[in-house]
Amino acid sequence: MNAPAIVASVLGADYSRLAGEVRDLQSAGVDRIQWDVMDGHFVPNMTFGAAVVGACRPHVDLPFEAHLMVEDPDPVLADFVSAGCNTVIVHVEACPHLHRTLSMIKGMGARAGVAVNPSTSLDFVAHVLDQLDHILVMTVNPGFGGQEYIAAMEDKVAEAREIADRSERPVQVEVDGGISADTAAAPWRAGADLLVVGSAILDHPDGKGVATEEIRQVLTEAGTAS
Distance CA 167, CA 146 (A): 33
Q: Is 203 a catalytic residue?
A: no
Distance CA 18, CA 81 (A): 19
Distance CA 54, CA 59 (A): 10
Please give the full DSSP string across 102-146, using - where no structure is assigned.
Answer: HHHHHHTTSEEEEEE-TT--SGGGGGTGGG-SEEEEESS-TT-SS
Q: Which of 24, 39, 133, 176 is catalytic?
A: 176
Radius of gyration of the chain (CA): 16
Q: Which domain does 131 fall in, by range?
A: 5-225
What does the pLDDT look like over 57-97, one tens digit per residue? 999 999 999 999 999 999 999 999 999 999 999 999 999 99
pLDDT for 144 equals 65
Q: Which region, left, alpha or beta, applies to residue 218 given φ > 0 means left and ψ of -120 to 50 means alpha?
A: alpha
What does the pLDDT look like over 114-170, one tens digit per residue? 999 999 999 998 889 999 999 999 999 876 666 789 999 999 999 999 999 988 889
Total residues found in the chain within this entry:
226
Q: What is the pTM for the complete model shown?
A: 0.95
Q: Is 130 a catalytic residue?
A: no
**Domains of the chain: total:** 1
Count CB-CB contacts under 10 A for residue 4: 24
Distance CA 51, CA 101 (A): 21
| Residue 9: strand pairing partners | 34
Which residues are part of a known binding site for substrate?
Answer: 9, 67, 143-146, 176-178, 198-199
Distance CA 138, CA 147 (A): 11
Distance CA 109, CA 30 (A): 24
Distance CA 221, CA 81 (A): 37
Q: Which of 24, 36, 39, 193 is catalytic?
A: 36
Do 22 and 11 meet the contact criterion of CB atoms below 8 Å apart? no
Residue 1 has pLDDT above 80, yes or no: no
pLDDT for 53 equals 98
pLDDT for 126 equals 84
Q: What CATH number is associated with residue 217?
A: 3.20.20.70
> How many Cα atoms occupy the beta-carbon half-sphere of 174 within 13 Å?
30
